[in-house]
Structure 1
Amino acid sequence: MDTTSLAEALHARTAAFAETVTGADPDARVPTCPDWPLRVLVGHIGQAHRWAADVVRSGPSPVPDPLDADPGAPATWADWLRQGAEDLAKTALDAGETPVWTFFGPQPARFWLRRMLHDTTIHHADAALTTGTAIEVAPDLATDAISEWLEMLSNPITASLRPDFAELCGTGQTLQLRPDQNQAWLVTRAPDGIRWARETKAADVTLAGPVQDLLLVLTRRRPAEDVTITGDRALADHWLAHTAA
C-alpha cells in the first residue's frame, strides 16, 4: 500500500471506529483490553495518531500512557478522532520519502501511517466486541496487517521492546497461515528469532480460514477455534500465547 492508499485507509478505519463507539457507554469494559473502559480505548486511538504525527514532525518522544489521554465528552469523540487521523495523514503525506524516526531505525513516514492504520483496525475490533457490533476488514487490508505484524515480530529489535516475543525462538518449527484466497505465510521459529515468507508448503501446524479471521485470531481478538487448525495444536497455542498485540 502506498502512502496515499494508507492515508485513505486510515481515514476510513478511524471513521468506522468512531461510528462504533458513538453513543456507547464510555465506562463499558473492553473485554480484550480488560484494564480499559471504552473511554480509554477511544483516548488511546486519538492520542496515538497525534503522537505519531508529532514523531514525523519533530522526532522521537516518549510513548504516551493511554490512561493519560483525554478524548473529551462522548458527543465530541467522532470529531476528535477524525482530527487526529487527519493530522497524521497530512503530516505523513507532507513528509514524503524523508526518513523519520521509528523503533526500527529511519524509515519513510508511511511507516507510521501503516502502523497506526493496523493498530486502529485491531482496536476497532476491540470496540466492536465491547459494543456488540460487527466489524469487516477488507482482504487487502487484513493481508497487509498480517504481513506488517510478522515484519515486526521478525525484527531483532522487537524482542528488546517486548521480552515475551523472545519466547518465539525455536529449533526450526514451522507455522503456516493459509487464507482462503491469496498465498500463505510460512513462519519458521529459528534459534535467533523468527523467519517468514509468502509461500505455501507443509508445516508443523496450519491455521486456515478467511484472512480477516486469521488476523483477528493472530491478534487475540477472536478465539483460535474461529479458524481451522491442523497439525501441532500445542505449537499454535504457544505462538498465540506469546504474540498478543
Structure 2
Amino acid sequence: MDLAQLAEGLSAHTTGFTTAVAGADPDVTVPTCPEWTLRVLVGHVGQAQRWAADIVRSGPSPVPDPTDADPGSVADWPDWLRTGADELTDAVLAAGDRPVWTFFGDRPAVFWLRRMVHDLVVHHADAAATTGAPFGVSPALAGDAISEWLEVLCHPATLDLRPGFEKLRGTGQTLQLRPDTGPGWLITRVPDGVRWARATTDADVTLSGPVQDLVLVLTRRAPVDRVAVAGDRDLVDHWLANTLA
C-alpha cells in the first residue's frame, strides 16, 4: 500500500477506535489482551504512535511501557488519539524518502506508518471486542496487515526481539491462508525460521475465509473456528500458541 492509502487507513481506524472506546469504563479488562485494561490499551495506541513519530524525527529511543502512558480522562481520549495519529502522519510526510531507523535496519519512514496502521487495526479489534462496538477493515488493508505481520515475523532480527519465535521453526510444514478472492499466503516452517510467499497451493493445513477473518485469526483476535480449516489442525494450534501480535 502507498503512503496515501496507509494515511487514510490510520485516519479511518483512529476514528473507529475512538468511537469504540467513547464513554467506556477505563478500568474494564480487554478480553483479547487480558493483561490490559481499556485505559492501558488506549494509552498504548497513542503512546506507540508518538514514539514512532519521534523515531522518524530524531532516531531510536527505548520502547515505552504501555502502563506508563497517560491518555487523560475518557473525555480527553478522542483528541489525544487524533493528535498522536496526526503527529505520526506529519512526521512521515516530512521525512519523505529519507531512511530512518527501524528494528530491521534503516528503512523509508513509511515503514513506521505501515507498522502503526496495522498495530492500530488489531487494537481497534481489541477495543470493539471490549465494548461491543462494530469492527470492520477493508480487504486491502487486511491483506496488507497479513503480509506486514509475516514480514516482521520472518525477519531474522525478530528472533532477537522475541526468542520464543524459535518454536515456529520446522522441517518443511506448510500453512496456507486462503482468502475469498486473490492469492493466498503460503507459510513454510524451515529449520532456520519461517518463510512465506503470496501463493495459493496445497499445504499441510489451509485456513479459508474472508481476509478480515483471516487477519483476526492470525493475530489471535478471533477463534480459529471463524474460518474453515482443512488439514492438520494441530499445526494451526501450535502456530497460534507460539505467536504474539
Give the TM-score taking structure 1 as reference length: 0.99
What displacement does 1:191 show?
0.5
Equivalent position SS for 1:10 = helix
Distance (whole Å) between structure 1 residues aligned to residue 194 and residue 170 of structure 2 = 8
Q: Indicate yes or no: 2:43 matched with 1:43.
A: yes
Partner of 1:224: 224
- Give 2:53's aligned residue: 53
Q: State the alpha-carbon separation in 1 of the partners of residues 242 and 35 from structure 2.
A: 19
Cα distance in 2 for partners of 1:20, 1:133 equals 5
Distance in 1 between residues matched to 2:244 and 2:181, nearest whole Å: 25
Number of the residue aligned with 2:96? 96
**Which residue number corresponds to residue 156 of structure 1?**
156
Using the TM superposition, name which of 5-14 and 184-193 deviates more.
Answer: 5-14
Segments of 5+ residues of structure 2 without an aligned counterpart are: none
Give the alignment's Cα RMSD to 1 decimal.
0.7
Over residues 74-99 of structure 1, what are the superposed CA-to-partner deviations in whole Å (9 max), with x where a residue is unaligned? 10100110000000000001101100
Taking the aligned partners of 2:35 and 2:234, their CA distance within structure 1 comes to 28
Distance 1:206 1:120 in 2: 27
- 2:235 is the alignment partner of 1:215: no
SS in structure 2 of the partner of residue 27 of structure 1:
coil
Find the residue that maps to 1:105 and give its secondary structure: coil
Cα distance in 1 between the residues matched to 2:159 and 2:55: 22
The whole-number CA distance in structure 2 between the counterparts of 1:234 and 1:159 is 23
Q: Which residue of 2 aligns with 1:19?
A: 19
Amino acid at match of 2:16: A
**Structure 1 residue ranges, 4+ long, deviating more than 3 angstroms after superposition:** none
SS of equivalent to 1:230: strand
Distance in 2 (alpha carbons) for counterparts of 1:165 and 1:89: 31
> How big is the shift at 1:9?
1.3
> What is the 5 A alignment of 1:123-162?
123-162=123-162
**Structure 1 Cα separation of the partners of residues 37 and 243 of structure 2:** 23
Q: Deviations over 1:131-182 (max 9, x none)?
A: 0122001000000000001101110111111112111110000100000111
Distance 1:170 1:33 in 2: 28
SS in 2 for 1:67: helix
1:89-119: CA deviation from partner (whole Å, max 9, x where unpaired):
0000110110000000000010000000000
2-structure distance, mates of 1:34, 1:9: 26
- The question of whether the paired residues in 2 share the 8 Å contact of 1:4 and 1:93 is answered with no
5+ residue gaps, structure 1: none
- Report the alpha carbon displacement of residue 244 of structure 1 after superposing the two structures with TM: 2.1
| Residue matched to 1:30 | 30
**Alignment of 1:84 onto 2:84:** yes
Report % sequence identity.
Answer: 67
Q: Distance in 1 between matches of 2:18 and 2:133?
A: 13
For residues 6 and 129 of structure 2, what CA distance do their matches in structure 1 show?
Answer: 25
Task: Report the equivalent of 1:183.
Answer: 183
Asked if 2 retains the 8 angstrom alpha-carbon contact of 1:218 and 1:244, the reply is: no
Judge conservation of contact 1:176–1:187 (CA < 8 Å) in 2: yes
Q: Give the aligned partner of residue 241 of structure 1.
A: 241
Provide the secondary structure at the position in 2 that maps to 1:234. helix
Matching residue of 2:72: 72
| Partner AA of 1:12 in structure 2 | A
